[in-house]
């Protein structure tokens, strides 16, 4: 063994001796340095800020690391390590999709250590081993991963033929599927890691081909809402782990579970990234080596009384309701929270008081607040002490100026000198249908959609819109985008005629909501029929860069995409789409307050003051009485609680004079037969049997 160690050390010295060390300073071009580097070279960055603005492939052994004692920050676009690669000691941010992505196979290893990765500015992954690619080893050690939002900060979708090791790391606030994803990794180790708020499955192994050992880890979420398995593996061992506010590890006959505990880890301030823990924590001294469970960078620390406003780190705009996010710690456990607002940070007005210490958010009703700019302040106080926090930025309140839905089914009937009006207020569910595309539109509202390594063409055909697609890389997009003339108000189901090509490919049917959120479902191209898909079948497109929402409620649909996106290295084909229609139910207007009906004798009232108000209330019928002969114009308006007024619903009533007025009916009457006709004489006026006057 000693001879083997000496031999390895000698080789490493020789390798170091032949490798060049290239030192970069802020402002130097990293891509140029990578291109100029020789096999085995080391690129070192001194303290400062660096930006790598375009994707670059690394096809030679290379190390990119911080210089000794330096603390460089790298804004990365994408580096593709396709050879022996070490990435060490860097603080990394991005506005791109993937920071590091391996796109080629080989007998090489990737090592990432002593780094912090902040992916919160955009959607994507930190390290992505592409589908179909194989590397030897993947080692990740002593790193912090935060803000990834697509299927895991570490996404091993290809094959690791040797060993994958993730140790001494922290994963926080990585949405999507979770923090670590493994598809074809026969030998994997995840040890001494801390996981907090990492989606529904923080650790996910795709199948029982992967033997995964998870040890000495803590997995915790802020709440149990939407939680799935904290550790989802099909083969291996889960040992000496703690989980909280999430479901227990997946149970399987091929997985041994040893000393797995459900307990509060007692983090000091996890919402603000402080995963130190109290001396009473179940993490203390419970690891297999006698140390603490979790990332070793976190240790025992006594909590201080603190309160933090997690909202308004940057300026925001809101209408109706604003959710204030906060975090409070009181070691005594007796403190309560007060929330206030101010326009000048001098005079403060109470929003809420005596909120419990456990409060993580508060829905502030701002519907009746005046338009303007407001700051927030939170105070945590117990019997002996208080602490405060103010928002870093301001909230701009924009009043609701959207009119309620119009009055419908406005109708009138006449009865002598009265007009009987009926209508339906916007307080009922109503069915709605929006046509997205029919062949009669031709190319109107349709446009081809393709990503960088794909092409699409669209043209009208006899039975619909024909889409030809071609991709030259896996998971590229090619298809058609439909944009309705106006956003669809609501969606419960989407129906369409699809003529597939019989292939094994799928269409990713994607619905765009609010102009940025994407929701998808897969439709086989082998289908050749009319299809209807309900809203509950759609999932969040977690790897979409602009995704903001987490819940699809089917409102304000702004676009529909029919796109082919497959794992094949290349794909070609066509499909035909036609008769795309959305149907749904529009719910009642939540802020409806009343209906006002106005009468005019010359034209339809244009406003609620343009004539005589004949009704004001929430009923759905009224009678306008004592009308003289003539034509009357009625407009019905719906109003909300802020006085916003809908467009007018309109009807016309014509009143004709009756020969026998009500006041006359009580007079004495005389009947005669004159010239063979019945004549009625009342109050010296002669009427025929039809009630009209005669001479």
pLDDT tens for each residue of 370-401: 999 999 999 999 999 999 999 999 999 999 99
Answer whether residue 666 shows pLDDT above 90. Answer: no
Q: Report the pLDDT value the prediction gives residue 501, as an integer from 0 to 100.
A: 85
Of the chain, the percentage scoring pLDDT greater than 90 comes to 67
Q: Report the pLDDT value the prediction gives residue 226, as an integer from 0 to 100.
A: 62
162 and 109 Cβ atoms separated by less than 8 Å: yes
Q: Report the pLDDT value the prediction gives residue 685, as an integer from 0 to 100.
A: 75
Q: Report the pLDDT value the prediction gives residue 304, as an integer from 0 to 100.
A: 83
355-381 average pLDDT score: 94
Q: Report the pLDDT value the prediction gives residue 199, as an integer from 0 to 100.
A: 77
Task: List, for residues 53-97, the tens digit of each pLDDT value.
Answer: 888 999 999 999 999 999 999 999 999 999 999 999 999 998 888
Closest CA to 24 of 9, 34, 14: 34
Answer whether residue 598 shows pLDDT above 90. Answer: yes
Residue 40's alpha-carbon distances to 12, 43, 146, 450, in angstroms, are 11, 10, 30, 38
| Selected residue with higher pLDDT from 249 and 177 | 249
Q: Report the pLDDT value the prediction gives residue 681, as an integer from 0 to 100.
A: 74
Answer whether residue 50 shows pLDDT above 60. Answer: yes
The rounded distance, in Å, linking the Cα atoms of 597 and 603 is 14
Q: Is 440 exposed, middle or buried (0-12, 13-18, 19+ CB in 10 A)?
A: exposed
Q: Report the pLDDT value the prediction gives residue 224, as an integer from 0 to 100.
A: 65
DSSP single-letter state for residue 401: -
Answer whether residue 149 shows pLDDT above 90. Answer: no
Q: Is 270 exposed, middle or buried (0-12, 13-18, 19+ CB in 10 A)?
A: buried
Task: List, for residues 178-219, the tens digit of each pLDDT value.
Answer: 799 999 999 999 999 999 998 778 999 988 999 999 999 999
Task: List, for residues 216-272, the tens digit of each pLDDT value.
Answer: 999 998 776 666 789 999 999 999 999 999 989 998 899 999 999 999 999 998 988
H or E stretch at 36: helix 30-36
Average confidence score pLDDT of the chain: 89
Q: Report the pLDDT value the prediction gives residue 508, as an integer from 0 to 100.
A: 93
Q: Report the pLDDT value the prediction gives residue 15, as an integer from 0 to 100.
A: 40
Residue 565 — left, alpha, or beta (φ > 0 → left; ψ -120 to 50 → alpha)? beta
> Which 3 state secondary structure label does DSSP give 478?
strand
What domains can you pick out in the chain, each with its CATH number? 17-277 (2.160.20), 306-397 (2.60.40.10), 408-428+589-655 (2.60.40.10), 431-586 (2.60.120.430), 660-695 (no CATH)
Answer whether residue 519 shows pLDDT above 80. Answer: yes
Q: Report the pLDDT value the prediction gives residue 4, as an integer from 0 to 100.
A: 29
């Amino acid at each position: 063994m000693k001879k083997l160690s000496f031999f390895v050390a000698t080789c490493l010295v020789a390798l170091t001796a032949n490798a060049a060390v290239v030192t970069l300073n802020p402002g130097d071009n990293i891509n140029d340095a990578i291109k100029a580097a020789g096999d085995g070279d080391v690129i070192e960055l001194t303290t400062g800020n660096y930006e790598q603005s375009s994707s670059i492939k690394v096809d030679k052994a290379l190390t990119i690391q911080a210089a000794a004692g330096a603390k460089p920050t790298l804004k990365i676009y994408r580096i593709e390590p396709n050879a022996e690669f070490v990435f060490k000691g860097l603080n990394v941010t991005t506005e791109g999709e993937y920071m590091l992505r391996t796109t080629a196979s080989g007998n090489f290893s990737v090592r990432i250590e002593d780094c912090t990765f902040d992916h919160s500015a955009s959607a994507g992954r930190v390290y992505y081993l592409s589908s179909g690619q194989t590397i030897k080893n993947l080692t990740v050690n002593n790193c912090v991963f935060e803000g990834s939002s697509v299927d895991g900060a570490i996404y091993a979708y290809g094959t690791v033929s040797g060993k994958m090791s993730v140790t001494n790391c922290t994963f926080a606030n990585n949405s999507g599927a979770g923090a670590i994803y493994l598809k074809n990794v026969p030998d994997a180790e995840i040890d001494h890691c801390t996981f907090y708020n990492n989606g529904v499955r923080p650790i996910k192994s795709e199948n029982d081909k992967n033997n995964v050992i998870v040890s000495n880890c803590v997995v915790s979420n802020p709440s149990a809402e939407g939680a799935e398995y904290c550790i989802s593996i099909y083969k291996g061992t889960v040992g000496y782990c703690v989980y909280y506010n999430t479901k227990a590890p997946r149970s399987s006959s091929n997985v041994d579970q040893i000393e797995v505990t459900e307990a509060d880890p007692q983090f000091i301030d996890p919402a603000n990234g402080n995963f130190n823990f109290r001396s009473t924590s179940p993490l203390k001294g419970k690891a297999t080596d006698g140390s603490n469970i979790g990332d070793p960078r976190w240790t025992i620390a006594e909590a201080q009384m603190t309160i933090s406003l997690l909202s308004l780190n940057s300026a925001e705009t809101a209408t109706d309701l604003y959710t204030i996010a906060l975090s409070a710690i009181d070691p005594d456990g007796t403190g309560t929270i007060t929330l206030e607002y101010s326009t000048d940070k001098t005079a403060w007005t109470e929003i809420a008081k005596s909120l419990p210490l456990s409060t993580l958010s508060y829905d502030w009703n701002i519907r009746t607040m005046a338009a303007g700019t407001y700051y927030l302040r939170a105070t945590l106080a117990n019997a002996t002490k208080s602490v405060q926090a103010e928002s870093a930025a301001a909230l701009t309140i924009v009043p609701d100026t959207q009119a309620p839905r119009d009055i419908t089914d406005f109708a009138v009937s006449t009865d002598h000198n009265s007009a009987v009006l009926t209508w339906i207020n916007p307080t009922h569910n109503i069915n709605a249908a929006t046509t997205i595309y029919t062949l009669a539109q031709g190319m109107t509202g349709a446009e081809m959609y393709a990503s960088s390594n794909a092409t699409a063409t669209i043209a009208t055909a006899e039975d619909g819109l024909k889409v030809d697609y071609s991709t030259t890389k896996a998971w590229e997009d090619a298809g058609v985008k439909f944009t309705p003339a106006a956003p669809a108000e609501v969606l419960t189901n989407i129906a369409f005629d699809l003529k597939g090509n019989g292939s094994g490919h799928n269409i990713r049917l994607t619905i765009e909501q609010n102009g940025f959120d994407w929701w998808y479902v897969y439709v086989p191209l082998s289908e050749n029929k009319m299809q209807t898909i309900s809203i509950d079948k759609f999932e969040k497109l977690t790897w979409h860069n602009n995704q903001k929402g987490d819940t699809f409620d089917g409102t304000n649909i702004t676009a529909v995409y029919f796109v082919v996106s497959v794992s094949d290295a290349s794909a070609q084909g066509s499909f035909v789409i036609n008769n795309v229609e959305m149907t749904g139910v529009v719910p009642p207007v939540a802020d409806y307050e009343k209906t006002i009906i106005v009468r005019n004798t010359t034209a339809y009232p244009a406003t609620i003051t343009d004539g005589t108000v004949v009704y004001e209330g929430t009923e759905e019928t009224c009678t306008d009485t004592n009308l003289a002969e003539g034509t009357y114009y009625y407009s019905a308006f719906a109003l909300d609680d802020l006085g916003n007024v809908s467009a007018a619903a309109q009807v016309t009533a014509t009143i004709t004079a009756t020969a026998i007025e009500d006041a006359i009916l009580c007079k004495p009457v005389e009947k005669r037969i004159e010239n063979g006709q019945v004549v009625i004489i009342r109050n010296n006026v002669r009427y025929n049997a039809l009630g009209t006057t005669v001479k």
